[in-house]
Structure 1
Amino acid sequence: MKSFYRLYVFLLIFCGIILFAVTFREDISISENVRPIPPVPEEIKSTFKLYFVNDNSLAVENRAVTTKNMSFEKVIVEELINGPRNKTLAATIPEDTRLLSIETIENICYVNFSSEYIKNNKLRELGEPLVIWSLVNSLTQLDYIQKVQILVEGEKIEFLDDEDLLNQPFSRNEELIQKRNVTHFTIVKDFLDSLLMERYDRAYSMLDKESRMRIGFQEFITFMSEYIKELRGYEIVLYNTQKYSDKTIILLKYSKDNTNEEIGFYQAWKLIEVNDEIKIVLGDKEDYINSLY
Structure 2
Amino acid sequence: MSSKKKKSAPTGSRYWIIVVVLVFAAAVVCVWWVMNNKMSVEPPVGITKEPQAPAREYKKVTIYVLKSTDGEIGLSPEERTVTGNVEPLRAAIERLLATNHEVGTSQGLVPVGTKLLSAKVRGSVAYLDFSSELQNNFTGGSTQEELLVGAIAHTACQFKPIKKVQILIEGKKIDSIGGHIEIIEPVAPDPSLLVKGGRS
User: What's the TM-score bracket when you normalise by the shorter of the two chains?
Assistant: 0.5 to 0.7
Q: Which residue of 1 aligns with 2:66?
A: 52
Q: Which residue of 1 aligns with 2:86?
A: 70
Unaligned stretches of 5+ in structure 1?
Answer: 182-293
Question: Which structure is larger by alpha-carbon Rg, 1 or 2?
Answer: 2
Q: Which residue of 2 aligns with 1:111?
A: 128
Indicate the SS of the match to 1:118: helix
Rounded to whole Å, the distance in 1 between the matches of 2:105 and 2:147 is 16
Rounded to whole Å, the distance in 2 between the matches of 1:25 and 1:168 is 69
Rounded to whole Å, the distance in 1 between the matches of 2:29 and 2:138 is 84
Q: Deviations over 1:11-58 (max 9, x none)?
A: 33345556677889999999xxx9994651414152524232658753
More strand by share: 1
Question: Aligned in 2, Cα 1:88/1:25: closer, same or farther, shift over 3 Å?
Answer: closer
Rounded to whole Å, the distance in 2 between the matches of 1:177 and 1:167 is 23
> Is the aligned partner of 1:40 residue 2:54?
yes
Unaligned stretches of 5+ in structure 2?
Answer: 1-13
Q: Which residue of 1 aligns with 2:21?
A: 8
What count of residue pairs does the alignment treat as equivalent? 175
Runs of 4+ aligned structure 1 residues displaced above 4 Å come to 14-30, 53-57
Letter in 1 for 2:156: L
Rounded to whole Å, the distance in 2 between the matches of 1:153 and 1:143 is 25
Question: Aligned in 2, Cα 1:40/1:8: closer, same or farther, shift over 3 Å?
Answer: same
Rounded to whole Å, the distance in 1 between the matches of 2:153 and 2:52 is 37
Q: Which residue of 2 aligns with 1:238?
A: none
Question: Aligned in 2, Cα 1:172/1:166: closer, same or farther, shift over 3 Å?
Answer: closer
Indicate the SS of the match to 1:51: strand
Rounded to whole Å, the distance in 2 between the matches of 1:136 and 1:65 is 20
Matches within 5 A, 1:79-98: 79-83=95-99, 87-89=104-106, 91-98=108-115
CA contact (8 A) 1:76 1:138 kept: yes
Letter in 2 for 1:11: F
Q: CA RMSD in A?
A: 4.1
Q: Which residue of 2 aligns with 1:100?
A: 117
Indicate the SS of the match to 1:179: coil
CA contact (8 A) 1:83 1:95 kept: no
Q: Which residue of 2 aligns with 1:254?
A: none
Q: Which residue of 1 aligns with 2:11?
A: none
Q: Which residue of 2 aligns with 1:280?
A: none
Q: Which residue of 1 aligns with 2:143?
A: 126
Indicate the SS of the match to 1:126: helix
What is the identity percentage for the equivalent residue pairs of Structure 1 and Structure 2?
Answer: 19
More helix by share: 1
Indicate the SS of the match to 2:136: coil
- TM-score (ref. length: structure 1): 0.46
Matches within 5 A, 1:127-142: 128-142=145-159
CA contact (8 A) 1:112 1:154 kept: yes
CA contact (8 A) 1:110 1:149 kept: yes
Rounded to whole Å, the distance in 2 between the matches of 1:146 and 1:11 is 80
Indicate the SS of the match to 2:128: strand
CA contact (8 A) 1:109 1:145 kept: yes
Question: Aligned in 2, Cα 1:141/1:107: closer, same or farther, shift over 3 Å?
Answer: same
CA contact (8 A) 2:92 2:155 kept: yes
Q: Which has the higher contact order (CA 8 A, sep 6+)?
A: 2
Give how far 1:86 is off.
6.6
Question: Aligned in 2, Cα 1:25/1:174: closer, same or farther, shift over 3 Å?
Answer: same
CA contact (8 A) 1:51 1:135 kept: no
Indicate the SS of the match to 1:93: coil
Q: Which residue of 1 aligns with 2:9?
A: none
- TM-score (ref. length: structure 2): 0.62
Rounded to whole Å, the distance in 2 between the matches of 1:106 and 1:72 is 17
